Amino acid sequence: MLAPGRQPGTRLAAGSPRPLGNGGRRLAVALSIRGLDHAWLAGTVGSLPDLSHAGFHHPGANPPASSGDAVPGKFRRGSTAIVLKSCPRWFLLGPTASGKTAVSVALADLCGAEILSMDSMLVYRGMDLGTAKPSVEERGSIRHHLIDLVEPWQTFSVARYLEAAEQAEAEVRARGARPLYVGGTGLYLKALTSGLLQVPQAPARLRNELEQQWAQGGEQLLRDELQRIDPAAAERLHPSDAKRILRAIEVYRCTGRPLSEWQRQWQRQAALREPAVALIWPREILRERIAERFDAMLDAGLVEEIQRIRARGGFSLTAAKALGYRQILQALDGEIGWEEAREQAITKTRVLIRRQMSWLRSFPDLHCQEVGPEDRIKDLAAALLARFQGWPGPDLEDGSGNRPTTESN
């Protein structure tokens, strides 16, 4: 595990710095993509390029201008362009570390798309390395949206994401480009395809009464009530989050059902009636990629990134829960050791992937693209394009797709 102040290319082993072999670890995210003719596209999706000189979109920085060789709203095959008659949005899904960023840039270049992020942690400015945020070069090659929307210490909600996504998608369509959503945040996909959770609105009188009780010193009584009626919500919400605590209480008082039950029912409605493809890796290879990926982030300066954010304003409750960030914050505060922080980050990421795979399996009509480390990115992008173009939808006779069977511990 890297400690603050370590020299580039060294890690701590048994308390002593030692050099990393072969020039350090590599991130499973391709960098510096500027078009189909770039030599990198002949590489494989399993290649792990060096991050030591990778550019990221730090606060106040502007990504470079697009190279202009992409043709918005058209398929580009060499010098041939086919104008799109219709532009349904596409969804490229996959678990963490599945190479979505690299492949999506190549796919977008093939089909004249713009990328809309569907990742709940990419909305935070400055949280670049630990979230594997697309680099400045990638974002200069293909337009990206829904990234760097708020500061890490600011709150952000699914409702705000949906509002921003609707605006961004309208702008993409106005330019004649195809919206390509890329990510793995289930709630964002659910909101985009099914709308927000609809819960009966409580009378204003009830909300006023609850707010008055909270303001007059009844916080603990209300917390105890929430623990009694909705333990799941009580565990999830911060004790000082008055707005959400009161909302959960008023939902129960009005409907007789816990808010968490409403949320579970909403999430179970898994119909996905829009073109969507998931990248699926063999279990053991993905497990190895997780460890290499996190070590690459550490080598590239993740600890220093976290220290910079702390100095600027810190992390919101949600941002502080980001995998890798949370464990390093605990190590910086002396709550756990550095090696323990590294192991926890890797283990918890593998647990997250298992949950993501379970989520992907809940979509019966989802097409899956099996991926291996030797697959060429250009070929994989072409295969995905064929998948999307051939997606008939769940209402047609041949609308069934493969279902993911790969799991990761």
pTM of the model: 0.71
Query: Is residue 219 located within the same domain as residue 151?
Result: no
Token pair for 47: 């290649």
Query: Is residue 47 located within the same domain as residue 190?
Result: yes
pLDDT for the residue 23: 30
Rounded alpha-carbon distances, angstroms, from residue 56 to 24, 101, 140, 152: 19, 14, 11, 16
How many other C-beta atoms can be found within 10 angstroms of the C-beta atom of residue 82? 12
Closest CA to 233 of 244, 222, 243: 244
pLDDT band at 48 (very low <50, low <70, confident <90, very high): very low
Query: Is residue 299 located within the same domain as residue 260?
Result: no
Longest dimension (CA), the chain: 70
| H/E stretch holding 162 | helix 158-174
pLDDT for the residue 103: 94
Per-residue pLDDT for 54 more than 80? no
Query: Is residue 41 located within the same domain as residue 75?
Result: yes
In a domain? residue 396: no
In a domain? residue 340: no
Pairing relation of β-strands 16-19 and 113-118?
unpaired
d(CA 157, CA 180): 21
Burial class (CB in 10 A: 0-12, 13-18, 19+), 158: middle
- Looking at residues 310-331, what average pLDDT do you find? 94
CATH code where residue 299 lies: 3.40.50.300
Per-residue pLDDT for 78 more than 90? no
d(CA 221, CA 214): 9
Query: Is residue 244 located within the same domain as residue 308?
Result: no
Query: Is residue 121 located within the same domain as residue 141?
Result: yes
How many other C-beta atoms can be found within 10 angstroms of the C-beta atom of residue 46? 17
The DSSP 8-state label assigned to residue 274 in this structure reads S
Stretch among 33-47, 153-167, 194-208, 215-229 having the lowest mean pLDDT: 33-47
In a domain? residue 341: no
Query: Is residue 153 located within the same domain as residue 275?
Result: yes
Query: Is residue 140 located within the same domain as residue 281?
Result: yes
Token pair 């919500």 is found at 233
Residues 6+ apart with CB under 8 A from 235: none
Answer whether 377's CB lies under 8 Å from 384's CB.
no
d(CA 132, CA 247): 34
CB environment 343-356: b (16+ within 10 A), e (fewer):
bbbbeebbebbeeb
Closest CA to 135 of 92, 104, 174, 157: 104
In a domain? residue 231: yes
pLDDT in tens, 344-392: 999 999 999 988 888 887 777 788 888 887 788 889 999 999 989 887 6
Residue 243 sits in which domain range?
204-268
Query: Is residue 185 located within the same domain as residue 59?
Result: yes
pLDDT in tens, 271-302: 677 899 999 998 889 888 999 999 999 999 99
The DSSP 8-state label assigned to residue 241 in this structure reads -
pLDDT in tens, 90-143: 999 999 999 999 999 999 999 999 999 999 999 999 999 999 999 888 999 999
- Looking at residues 47-57, what average pLDDT do you find? 44
Q: What is the mean pLDDT of the chain?
A: 77
d(CA 324, CA 329): 9
d(CA 324, CA 298): 9
Domain count, the chain: 2
pLDDT for the residue 367: 86
